[in-house]
Each structure stands twice: as C-alpha cells, then as structure tokens.
Amino acid sequence: MRAPSTLSTPMARFADALLAVDLPALPVDPRRQTVSFIDERVQTMTSVPRFGVKAIGIGVDILSKLVGVDRVISLVTKLPIPLLAEYPRLIRSLAFAYIWETWPATQTDGAQ
C-alpha cells in the first residue's frame, strides 16, 4: 500500500500516484516537477473546464482516501465511465508531453 501523499491538491495527489504506476522508474524529482507542471496547467484552464476537472479531482481524491489510491487508479483507468475516464487521460497527456519534451532520453518505464 502506498504512503499518503503530502501534495496539496487533489489533482497533484492523483497525478503523483498515477505517474508512479505508469512510470515506476521515473525518479522522484522529475515526477514532482511533472506533477507541478500538470497542476499549473489545470490552473490556467478557462473557468468551466477547470471547474469540471477540479470537481472530478475532488471526487477521485475522496474515493482514494476511502478505498485507496491504487484501487481508484485501477477503476478509473479501466472503466469507460464518461468524464471520469478522461481524468487520467488528461493527466497522462500533460505528463507524457512534459516528460519527453523536458527529458527526451526518458525510457518507457520512466528511467532516465
């Protein structure tokens, strides 16, 4: 079981956990930089999409605290639930673009 995150926003906590699963060899510092980038991008969205992403993020965060983040990651990445399934896709698209733009030699498991 994963240790509780000390990150401050629901998006950051979920993004950190999702990247730890998707890119297990990505070092901690690049992962934190990537999570920070994702969080900043969400803050710059226009008001309606930002509200939606934050609302989904809060729901996912509450569910993660109740049943565990690993179970929630498994659920939202496998079930085609409208809008909810887009949440990890948004995080992944921002993360992968940032990681391979910033550190182009990164391997598919996150090793640098």
Helix (H) or strand (E) segment spanning residue 65: helix 47-67
Q: Looking at residues 68-82, what average pLDDT do you find?
A: 93
How big is the CA angle at 40 (ends 38 and 44), to the nearest 5 degrees? 115
Residue whose token pair is 């992962």: 31
**Has residue 4 got a pLDDT over 70?**
no
Confidence band of 8 (pLDDT split at 50, 70, 90): confident
pTM of the model: 0.89
- Give percent of the chain above pLDDT 90: 87
Confidence band of 2 (pLDDT split at 50, 70, 90): very low
Predicted confidence at residue 57, as pLDDT, reads 95
Predicted confidence at residue 31, as pLDDT, reads 97
Report the residue count for the chain.
Answer: 112
CA distance readout (Å), 37 to 66, 75, 105: 27, 25, 19
19-37 residue pLDDT tens: 999 999 999 999 999 999 9
83-102 residue pLDDT tens: 899 999 999 999 999 999 99
**Please, which contacts does 78-86 make with residues 24 or more away whose CB atoms are closer than 8 Å?**
83/52, 83/56, 84/56, 84/59, 84/60
